[in-house]
Each structure stands twice: as C-alpha cells, then as structure tokens.
C-alpha cells in the first residue's frame, strides 16, 4: 500500500513537472512570437485595422447567420458592401466562426497578395479541402511547386491558335440560337448560356462535346454529366464557405454526382491515352486536325489521374464563369436599349458573316460592354488567400486606413472584388451605373480585377472573352431587339461563382 502511494505521488510529481515545463515552454514561445510580431509592426509602421462591431464578439455568429440567410435569398454582396460603407473603410477584420479574418477591397492590398508578396500567401486550406475530393490535384486546387508544374503544363495549351477555334464556337452558338424562339415568346437565355459553355468547354477539353444543346436523346450521358457537374459545384460552394461544418451534412446525391463525373472523364482520358499509344502523327497531320486539349496532355506522359484532375480543374474554372458573364451582359442589354442599339450598330457594320478573331479584337464598344459587365458583376465576386508566414499588407491600418497592417501567419484575407469595383472614389459618383462608355478613358489596373492578377491570373481569359464576344455578335446579328420579361430586382445566385438568381428571361425580336 505504502509503495503504491509512493508510486502515485511520484506520478503526480511527474505530471506536475510536465505541466510546469509546458507552461514555461508556452511562455517562451509566446514571448518570442510577441517580440517577432512587434519588430515587424515597428519596422513597417503597421497600425491596427478596423474591427467589425459584432453582436456576438466570440464567434461572430451575427454575420455568419445573416450571410447564410442572404445566400438563400440573394443580396449577399450588396450587404457585404454595406458593411464596408458602415465602417467607412476599405479594410477591416471580422470573426468567422470564432476565427479572425481580414476583409479588404483595396487594390494595393490585393496587388500585394497576388503579385508583389505572392510568396507570403497561398490558397486557404478550406478551398483545397472542399475541391480536392472531386478535382484532385490540379492548377486550381494546389500551391507552390505542384501549382507551378500544373501552370507550366497547361499554359502552352491556351495560345491564341487554340482558343481562336471559331468553327467550334460557331457549331455550338448556332445550336444555341436555334433554341431561341423566333415568335418573341419568353426564353431564359441563362439556361442556354450554361448549356453553351458546357458543350463548348467539353469539346475543347475532351474532343467530344456533351452536346446538351443538340437536344439529342442519344446523348443521355452528356446530359447526366451536365446535371452532376451542376450539383457538385453548388455543393462545393457550400463546403468552401462552411468548411468542415459541411461534412456533417451527408449528401448521397453529391457522392453519386462525383462518381459520375469521374467515370465520364476517365472514359475520355483512357480513350485518348489509348489512341496516342496507337498513332504516330506526322507534323502535317497534326497541323490539319482540330485542337483537342486532352490529346495534347496525353502526349506529355503524365499519369491518367493527373490528366483527369487538370481537365476537371479547367472545366470548373471555365464553364460557369463564361456563362455568368453572358447572362449578366444580356440582363443589361435587355434593360438598356441605348446600349443594345449602339452595340448592334457595331455588329451590323460587320455584315452577317462569321466574325474573325481580328474582327472581335477591333470591336471597341463590345469590349467596353464586356468590361463594364465584369466591373458591375465580377463573376468571381470575392476570393481569399491565407498568410503562410507573418507578413504585412500595405494599407488599411490606423484611423485613416492608410498605414500598413500586420497579418499573422495563418490569417485568412478575403478580398472582395465586387466591393472594389463599386467604389465611388475609384470609379466616380456614377460607379453604381452600368455605363460602358466609361471605358473610353479607363485603363484597367489593379482596381479592375475580374480575372485576378499576378502569377495566378486566369489562364482562360482570352478563351472566355472570345467565346462571349462570338456568342454576343451572333445573337445580335440574328435579333434586332430584346425585351426584359422579368421585373424582379437583380440579385445573385451563388455557387463557386455568381449568376443572376432569376435567370435572364427575355423576348427577342428577329432581325
């Protein structure tokens, strides 16, 4: 008994010693951290950033619950903008389920994260956790060396020759136009735009289109793929926002959709790899055939899984975005006959032929309209980065918001392009008006960022603008007028990107 008691007291002494050591260790660690942080703050003249006055100062549930509601009803991004206006600053910190994050709508801060201090920031773990189960390790879901390798692999496939495959666009755009009623009855153009971008992106990537616009019942597989893709991306958007919380909401349909997506793409990748192993092409043959992204990747010797991942990454990045841009553009065109007429005059000057790449480049007003749509409705309205070391951002500190701010390693910084694009101090008092003419004198810089900037700038920008321009020109050649058939207030539907919540219901009058 005495030995047992002695043992116990030895054990408790051991535990006490362990705790004492742990406390000393923590004191030393925190003091060193405090010293390190303070020296960065002093050296850079950092000042405190404004903080959001939460009603729940522990978890910030007030914003979280309000945001969850707005995701369902729309009005999310306008409310985010109002929070900035109420605080009268363009950078502030808030709580996200108990963790402090920084929000910014300052071009200088965004430029620092995306370009000048690129190495201090990465994608947040939440984005990777949500996307990697479906999209694996590809350009859109990785960082560091892995991302560099993806970017180097994919970049050459986005050269002008590849993206200017006007014949492919023509095929899908004319299939889409055939769905637009010629008797002026109402049509939801947004539905057609989402079908168009799925068909054209899958053709460009896999060499075989989902052909959902062909209305071909034999192509049930493509239609199912489209549905599964829509469902999976909507669910992933929830996961990106909620993080691990989303995992407690089991979803069989999501699992089934992911399996279907993988099987569909695997099938094409296997076919391409098999074809490559059977054929040896002469350069002449290679020049004369149609460009297929997957076939080019198959030549690189990368594994089947890697190729599948990259294809899905590009489909994710490229499909909804271009459809969103076209949807918003036609929303505005339907409500602004002055803009429609001016744009149509530029289109009509081309005649009725298929526009060439050069024609499209020369259409100034079309470019103004696309820029203005992307300014008012940046399809990726907000994005985030994660500080991987203690660092600073150039502005947002002090009462005037002009001093640098300290950003602790592990902090998430959200940058709201939507808010920045509507700043009156950057765009003038008419910043909330859709006004393509403003682009006559505006030069895009870091305050206009629909495609991101720096090393991770959108790789498909030219593809998107070419497809959107081509579709717009062909529609305006075929129809001389457009009428809105929906009086609801414009608000957004949020998935990983955004698009008009109520679609784009219009009537079109044939030319």
Q: In the structure encoding, which two tokens stand for residue 201, read together? A: 């992106």
State residue 164 phi and psi, 5-degree precision.
-90, 35
Rounded distance, CA 390 to CA 406, Å? 8
In the complex, which residue's CB is closest to ligand HEM?
460
Minimum Å gap between C-beta 318 and ligand HEM is 3
What does the DSSP 8-state code read for residue 460?
A: T
The 10 Å Cβ neighbour count of residue 187 is 18
* Sequence-separated (6 or more) residues with CB below 8 Å from residue 147: 139, 456
Nearer to ligand HEM, 233 or 321 (CB): 321
Minimum Å gap between C-beta 386 and ligand HEM is 11
314 lies in the binding site for ligand HEM (CB under 6 A): yes
- The answer to whether 194 and 166 are in contact (CB under 8 A) is no
Minimum Å gap between C-beta 142 and ligand HEM is 8
What does the DSSP 8-state code read for residue 113?
A: I
Minimum Å gap between C-beta 127 and ligand HEM is 8
Of 196, 205, 194, residue with least CA distance to 158: 205
Q: Select the residue interacting with ligand HEM from 317, 339, 347, 498 (CB under 6 A).
A: 317
233 lies in the binding site for ligand HEM (CB under 6 A): no
Q: Select the residue interacting with ligand HEM from 136, 318, 500, 503 (CB under 6 A).
A: 318
Minimum Å gap between C-beta 139 and ligand HEM is 5
Nearer to ligand HEM, 46 or 475 (CB): 475
Rounded distance, CA 334 to CA 478, Å? 15
Determine whether the annotation assigns residue 458 to a binding site.
yes
State residue 93 phi and psi, 5-degree precision.
-105, 150
241 lies in the binding site for ligand HEM (CB under 6 A): no
What does the DSSP 8-state code read for residue 46?
A: -
Count of residues interacting with ligand HEM (CB under 6 A) = 22
Rounded distance, CA 353 to CA 361, Å? 16
451 lies in the binding site for ligand HEM (CB under 6 A): yes
460 lies in the binding site for ligand HEM (CB under 6 A): yes
Rounded distance, CA 473 to CA 176, Å? 13
In the numeric block, the tokens 């030995």 are attached to 3
Nearer to ligand HEM, 121 or 406 (CB): 121
What SS3 class is residue 415?
strand
Q: Select the residue interacting with ligand HEM from 190, 200, 412, 452 (CB under 6 A).
A: 452
Minimum Å gap between C-beta 205 and ligand HEM is 8
507 lies in the binding site for ligand HEM (CB under 6 A): no
Q: In the structure encoding, which two tokens stand for residue 299, read together? A: 């030549």
140 lies in the binding site for ligand HEM (CB under 6 A): yes
Q: Which residues pair with 386 in a beta bridge?
A: 122, 412
Beta strands at 391-397 and 382-387: parallel, antiparallel or unpaired: unpaired
Fill in the per-residue mask, 28 to 67: x = in contact with ligand HEM (CB under 6 A), - = not in contact: ----------------------------------------
- The stretch among 80-88, 180-188, 349-357, 452-460 that binds ligand HEM (CB under 6 A) is 452-460
Nearer to ligand HEM, 212 or 316 (CB): 316
Q: Select the residue interacting with ligand HEM from 97, 458, 478, 490 (CB under 6 A).
A: 458
Fill in the per-residue mask, 364 to 403: x = in contact with ligand HEM (CB under 6 A), - = not in contact: ---------------xx--x--------------------
297 lies in the binding site for ligand HEM (CB under 6 A): no
- The stretch among 92-100, 423-431, 436-444, 456-464 that binds ligand HEM (CB under 6 A) is 456-464
Nearer to ligand HEM, 451 or 479 (CB): 451
What SS3 class is residue 231?
helix
Rounded distance, CA 304 to CA 306, Å? 6
Minimum Å gap between C-beta 154 and ligand HEM is 7
Q: Would you list the DSSP string of 472-493?
A: HHHHHHHEEEEEE---SPP-EE
- The stretch among 236-244, 294-302, 314-322, 433-441 that binds ligand HEM (CB under 6 A) is 314-322
Rounded distance, CA 333 to CA 509, Å? 13
- The answer to whether 202 and 209 are in contact (CB under 8 A) is yes
Rounded distance, CA 41 to CA 370, Å? 42
325 lies in the binding site for ligand HEM (CB under 6 A): yes
Rounded distance, CA 288 to CA 290, Å? 7
75: region left, alpha or beta (phi > 0 left; psi from -120 to 50 alpha): left
Count of positions (residues) in the chain = 511
323 lies in the binding site for ligand HEM (CB under 6 A): no
- The stretch among 87-95, 279-287, 439-447, 448-456 that binds ligand HEM (CB under 6 A) is 448-456
Sign of CA dihedral 210, 216, 219, 221: positive
What is the contact surface with ligand HEM in residues (CB under 6 A)? Answer: 139-140, 151, 313-314, 317-318, 321-322, 325, 379-380, 383, 450-452, 456, 458-460, 463-464
Give binding residues for heme as ranges: 458
Give binding residues as ranges: 458
């Amino acid at each position: 008994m005495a030995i047992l008691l002695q043992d116990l007291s030895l054990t408790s002494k051991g535990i006490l010693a362990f705790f004492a050591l742990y406390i000393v260790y923590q004191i030393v660690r925190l003091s060193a951290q405090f010293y390190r942080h303070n020296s960065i703050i002093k050296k850079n003249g950092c000042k405190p950033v404004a903080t959001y006055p939460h009603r729940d100062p522990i978890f910030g549930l007030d914003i979280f619950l309000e945001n969850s509601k707005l995701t369902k009803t729309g009005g999310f991004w306008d409310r985010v903008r109002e929070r900035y206006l109420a605080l009268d600053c363009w950078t502030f910190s808030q709580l996200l389920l108990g963790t402090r994050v920084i929000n910014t709508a300052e071009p200088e801060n965004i430029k620092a994260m995306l370009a000048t201090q690129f190495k201090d920031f990465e994608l947040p773990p939440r984005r990777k956790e949500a996307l990697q189960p479906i999209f694996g390790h590809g350009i859109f879901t990785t960082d560091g060396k892995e991302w560099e390798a993806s970017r180097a692999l994919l970049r050459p496939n986005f050269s002008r020759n590849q993206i200017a495959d006007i014949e492919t666009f023509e095929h899908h755009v004319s299939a889409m136009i055939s769905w637009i009623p010629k008797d002026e009855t109402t049509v939801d153009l947004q539905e057609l735009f989402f079908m168009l971008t799925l068909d054209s992106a899958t053709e460009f990537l896999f060499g075989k289109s989902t052909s959902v616009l062909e209305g071909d019942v034999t192509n049930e597989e493509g239609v199912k793929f489209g549905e599964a893709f829509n469902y999976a991306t909507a669910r992933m958007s929830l996961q990106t926002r909620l993080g691990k919380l989303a995992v407690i909401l089991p979803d069989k349909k999501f699992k089934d959709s992911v399996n279907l997506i993988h099987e569909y793409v695997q099938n094409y990748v296997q076919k391409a790899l098999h074809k490559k192993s059977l054929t040896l092409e002469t350069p002449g043959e290679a020049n004369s055939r149609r460009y297929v992204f997957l076939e080019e990747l198959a030549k690189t010797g990368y594994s089947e899984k890697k190729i599948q991942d990259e294809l899905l990454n590009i489909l994710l990045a490229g499909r909804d975005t271009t459809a969103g841009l076209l949807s918003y553009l036609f929303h505005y065109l339907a409500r602004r006959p002055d803009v429609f007429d001016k744009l149509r005059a530029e289109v009509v000057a081309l005649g009725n032929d298929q526009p060439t790449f050069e024609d499209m480049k020369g259409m100034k007003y079309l470019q103004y309209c696309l820029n203005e749509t992307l300014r008012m409705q940046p399809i990726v309205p907000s994005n985030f980065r994660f500080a991987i070391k203690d660092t600073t951002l150039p502005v947002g500190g002090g009462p005037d918001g002009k001093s640098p701010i300290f950003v602790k390693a592990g902090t998430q910084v959200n940058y709201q392009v939507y808010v920045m694009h509507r700043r009156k101090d950057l765009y003038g008092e008419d910043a909330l008006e859709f006004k393509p003419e403003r682009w006559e004198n505006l030069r895009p810089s870091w305050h206009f960022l629909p495609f991101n900037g720096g090393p991770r700038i959108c790789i498909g920008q030219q593809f998107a603008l070419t497809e959107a321009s081509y579709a717009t020109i062909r529609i305006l050649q075929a129809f001389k007028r457009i009428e809105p058939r929906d009086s609801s207030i414009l608000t957004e539907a949020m998935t990983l990107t955004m698009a008009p919540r109520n679609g784009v219901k219009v009537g079109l009058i044939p030319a």
